[in-house]
Amino acid sequence: MKIGNFTTENNIFLAPMAGVSDMSFRKICRRWGAGMVYSEMISAKGLYYNDKKTAELMRIDSSERPCAIQIFGSDAEIMAEIIPKVMEFNPDIIDINMGCPTPKIVNNGDGSALLKNPKLIGEIVRKVSDASPVPVTVKIRKGWDSNNVNAVETAKIIEANGAAAIAVHGRTREEFYSGTADWNIIKDVKNSVKIPVIGNGDIKTAADAKSMFDFTGCDAVMIGRGAEGNPFIFRQINEYLRDGFVTCSPTPIDRLNQMTEHIEMLVAEKGELRGIKEARKHIAWYIKGLPNASRFKITVFKINTISEMRQALTEYITHLQ
C-alpha cells in the first residue's frame, strides 16, 4: 500500500496505543505480519522542552520498520518545530493524533479536542507536512459527539492541507471506547477523499478485517485492542484475505511461549522491575481464557524479578502440557 511516496509491506496495521505499542510489542506484531506499526503517542511539547522520557518513546529498531511515530499537540508552530527532533529517529511516517479522548489530553486542546476546531486542524496539518521530509498522516475520530459528527469535513481539510493518508476510528470522543464503532462514517470518509483511508474500530478477528474492507472500501485496516495478547491476528488476517481461510491457530502453549518472549523483551528494553510491571497487563491479555488463568495472574502479579517470573512461567506451562 502506498502512503505518499512510501510503500508499506501490506495494509494491516498495528494501531498506536499508549502504554501498549512500545518497541517490544511493535517488533512482535511486525513479525506476525503487521504491515506497519505506530509508536505510542509522543507529546510535541515534551519534545520541544527536551523531555528525555518523551524522546525515549521514539526509538525504532530496524526489525520493526516500517514504523510511524505519532505526535500529539495543538500548537502548530511547536508541532512543526519539533519535526527535526522526530526525524532523528527516522520514522517512515509521521502521524498526528486527533483522536485521543483522555481528559488530560483533551483539556489541553490536544487529541480529539482538535475535532472542534477545523481551522486549527488545517493549520497543524499544513505546517507539519511542510516541515516533514516523510509522509504525514492523521488519525481522527468520527467527531466530538453525536451532535458534532464531522469526520468527512475534517478529512477533506486534512487532505487539502497535505496529509498522505487518514485513519478513522468510528467513534466520537464522547463515546470513548464504548458501544460499537460506526463503520458507515469510515465509508463516508473513503467516498469523500482521494488519499488512502485506514479503517479502525472493533476488528477482533480475521473475518472482521475482511468485513471492514468490504463494507467501507477502506485502503487499510488498523487493529488496536484486537492485538492485545493476540499478535497472531496479523498472520490470521493476512491468511484470510489471501486464502479465504485461517491456518494460524495458536495453542495455549504457543500463546504462553509468545508471552514469555514478550516479557523477556520488555525486561531487556526497560530494565527488570519496569519491564515486569509493564508486562503485567500483557500477561493478563495473553492468558485470558486459559485454564487456571486467575490463579496464575494472582501469582505473577506479585512477582518483581525475572528469575521468579521465569520459574512461575515454567511451572504454569508444565502444568498445561
Give the whole-angstrom CA distance, residue 25 versus residue 261.
10
Residue 275 contacts ligand FMN per CB under 6 A:
no
Residue 201 contacts ligand FMN per CB under 6 A:
yes
Which residue among the candidates 29, 67, 100, 218 is catalytic per the annotation? 100
Choose which of 18, 120, 284, 312 interacts with ligand FMN (CB under 6 A): 18
Give the whole-angstrom CA distance, residue 161 versus residue 63.
32
**Residue closer to ligand FMN (CB basis): 213 or 316:** 213
Q: At which residue does the C-alpha cell 506451562 appear?
A: 317
**Residue closer to ligand FMN (CB basis): 27 or 142:** 142
Per-residue mark of binding to ligand FMN, 218-247 (x: CB under 6 A): -----xxxx---------------------
- H helices present in 145-193, as ranges: 151-160, 183-190
Choose which of 30, 127, 142, 169 interacts with ligand FMN (CB under 6 A): 169
Q: How far is the CB of 44 from ligand FMN (least distance, A)?
A: 13
CA atoms within 13 A of residue 62's CA, in its CB half-sphere: 0
Find the distance separating the first CA and the last CA of the chain, reported in whole Å: 41
Q: In this structure, are residues 86 and 54 in contact, taking their beta carbons and an 8 Å threshold?
A: no
Based on the residue annotation, tell me whether 29 is a catalytic residue of this protein: no
Q: How far is the CB of 311 from ligand FMN (least distance, A)?
A: 29
Give the torsion sign (CA, 36, 39, 41, 47): negative
List CB contacts of 248: < 8 A, sequence separation 6 or more: 232, 235, 236, 239
Q: Return the H-helix or E-strand segment holding 67.
A: strand 67-72
Q: How far is the CB of 236 from ligand FMN (least distance, A)?
A: 14
Q: How far is the CB of 57 from ligand FMN (least distance, A)?
A: 10
Q: How far is the CB of 295 from ligand FMN (least distance, A)?
A: 26
Residue 284 contacts ligand FMN per CB under 6 A:
no
Q: In this structure, are residues 154 and 122 in contact, taking their beta carbons and an 8 Å threshold?
A: no
Number of residues that make up the chain: 321
Give the whole-angstrom CA distance, residue 317 versus residue 321.
6
Choose which of 26, 139, 173, 270 interacts with ligand FMN (CB under 6 A): 139
**Residue closer to ligand FMN (CB basis): 41 or 313:** 41
Q: At which residue does the C-alpha cell 512543526 appear?
A: 80
Q: How far is the CB of 179 from ligand FMN (least distance, A)?
A: 11
Number of helical (H) and strand (E) elements in the chain, helices listed first: 15, 10
Residue 100 contacts ligand FMN per CB under 6 A:
yes
Q: How far is the CB of 54 from ligand FMN (least distance, A)?
A: 13
Residue 137 contacts ligand FMN per CB under 6 A:
no
Q: Which residues pair with 6 in a beta bridge?
A: 3
**Residue closer to ligand FMN (CB basis): 201 or 313:** 201
Measured from each CB, the residue nearest to ligand FMN is 224
> CA nearest 308: which of 276, 278, 281, 265?
276
Choose which of 202, 208, 219, 278 interacts with ligand FMN (CB under 6 A): 202
Residue 15 contacts ligand FMN per CB under 6 A:
yes
Q: Among all residues, which ones are annotated catalytic?
A: 100
Interface with ligand FMN (CB under 6 A): 15-20, 40-41, 70, 97, 99-100, 139, 169, 200-203, 223-226
